[in-house]
Structure 1
Amino acid sequence: MKNDKSFAIFSDGACRGNPGPGAWGMVGQDSSGAVLFKGSGVETNTTNNRMEMIGALEAMKSLKGHGINLSESKVFLYSDSKYVVDGMKSWVSGWKSRGWKKADKKTPENVDLWKELDTIANCFENIQYIWVKGHAGHPQNELCDQLANEALDDSGF
């Protein structure tokens, strides 16, 4: 990140069984690398894709709620979920143009969360979605994974 108006948010999801109990973790940093926030949450019956999406959603919500001028900021969202990254970069605009339908006229899976992600993403003037390989030593991705798994452990899963 090149200037003091840049922020990075990181997210991950985990599931023990798919479907099964799941959790998400997220972290936000400013351009100096200082951690602005981190968090996690658990759902008792969910899927890995939903947890990946909720992690990204909660990271965006946390950054938005942090009092940052979103119209002047550049935001980078890092996720190890191609589902989230490809969805936000490529799929959502087409679904929206077809009334939240895929090309085959079926409703996308997890459309409730896609709509929420789209709504919050529209609050950001400049957001980029970046895929990182999971479980490959990326420090913030590993932290998000740790937060999600600790939340599952703490909840007895």
Structure 2
Amino acid sequence: MKKKTLAFFDKLKSKFPDDKKALSSIDYLKSQIEDWEEEVEEQNSTNGELPLPKEIKSKNAYALFSDGACRGNPGPGAWGMVGQNAKGEVLFKGSGVETTTTNNRMEMMGAIEAMKYLLSEGVNTDSAEVYLYSDSKYVVDGLKSWMQGWKNRGWKKADKKTPENVDLWQELDRISSSFSNIQYLWVKGHAGHPQNELCDQLANEALDDSGF
């Protein structure tokens, strides 16, 4: 609903190219719609086309998958995410769109939203084993290696400069710290990995539905 409504208003703006009052009103409505909750579809059935990764062995394990897409960098972008439990059941999947963003930010948003939604499911964060899979080395390396160093230096890199996308890195740090046991794994993109392909599909369908 949110994506299609935003796309409608974007198309509506083209009907009033020289009407500043109309354009201002449309921009205001869009800003209000941006605050709507993202669309997330809950799933309760096992999906045989999404076999669990080999790391998922414990009954308390959860697999999260995320991806991002951007048409222009910067440009309109979207994220997609999927969550499965240890039985292979798809617990949730979702996507979201931003009109002006970058590929890295969408990759990060996919990971953020996947973890955020798993938390909303009420999992026991002390006993749960969480595995986050992404085809973005930027996201995986940042979570595994870079982020702690930045945080120790007051969110500064070794050259004393602020990391790019520091707002999202801080959000990733906050959300990931909610889990006692979380691991980050890189998967090769566009290589037939079923969950990664689904996340990519969700992100690109979101962009298509929004008229980008």
For 1:131 and 1:48, the matched residues in 2 are separated by: 16
The reply to whether residue 47 of structure 1 matches residue 102 of structure 2 is: yes
What is aligned with 2:180?
125
Of 150, 157, 179, the residue aligned with 1:95 is 150
CA offsets, 1:33-69, max 9 Å, x none? 1000000000000000000000000000000110110
Structure 2 alignment gaps of length 5 or more:
1-55
TM superposition shift of 1:4: 1.2
What is aligned with 1:65?
120
Of 51, 65, 72, the residue aligned with 1:17 is 72
For 1:73 and 1:149, the matched residues in 2 are separated by: 31
What is aligned with 2:197?
142
TM superposition shift of 1:129: 0.2
CA offsets, 1:122-145, max 9 Å, x none? 000000000000000000000000
Identical pairs, percent: 77
When normalised by structure 1's length, the TM-score is 0.99
For 2:194 and 2:103, the matched residues in 1 are separated by: 21
What is aligned with 1:82?
137
Structure 1 alignment gaps of length 5 or more:
none
For 1:149 and 1:109, the matched residues in 2 are separated by: 24
TM superposition shift of 1:32: 1.1
For 1:76 and 1:39, the matched residues in 2 are separated by: 18
Q: Which amino acid in the other structure matches residue 89 of structure 1? A: K
Q: Segments of 4+ in structure 1 off by > 3 A?
A: none
The Cα RMSD (Å) is 0.3
Question: Which of the pair is proportionally richer in strand?
Answer: 1
Secondary structure of 2:124's partner?
Answer: coil
For 1:120 and 1:14, the matched residues in 2 are separated by: 22
What is aligned with 2:8?
none
Higher RCO (CA 8 Å, separation ≥ 6 residues): 1
